[in-house]
Amino acid sequence: MALPIVYRNAIRKGIKNLVNNSINEKISPESQATNRWKYTNSADFHFGHFIGMSETLASNIFQQSYKRQINQEEMREVQEIIEEESKPLREYFISNF
């Protein structure tokens, strides 16, 4: 099943907002998370956290709209949207961490 355009647009808008908010937060590579989670690559850690938040956002929007869990095929489509819309954030992390 292809995702309805209305849902795809809602996901794109939500991801763009997350990207802009994440960039505007100016996350420090030496954050408290570094000590807590013991990671060595801040860019990878923060980008992975962003991807997780994006997938959760997409799942919640889907569940509210369709009153069911998103299936694997639909989640793959969501992940393609996330990958496309998160490019500015990936570039931000690469250049600032």
Looking at the predicted structure, is the pLDDT value of residue 56 above 90? Answer: yes
Domain ranges of the chain: 5-24+32-96
The confidence score (pLDDT) of residue 18 equals 83
As a whole number of angstroms, the distance between CA 71 and CA 76 comes to 9
Strand, helix or coil for residue 2: coil
Give the per-residue pLDDT at 29.
56
Q: What pLDDT digit, counting tens, does each position of 4-52 carry?
A: 899 989 888 988 888 888 777 765 656 677 777 788 887 888 888 889 9
pLDDT at 73: 94
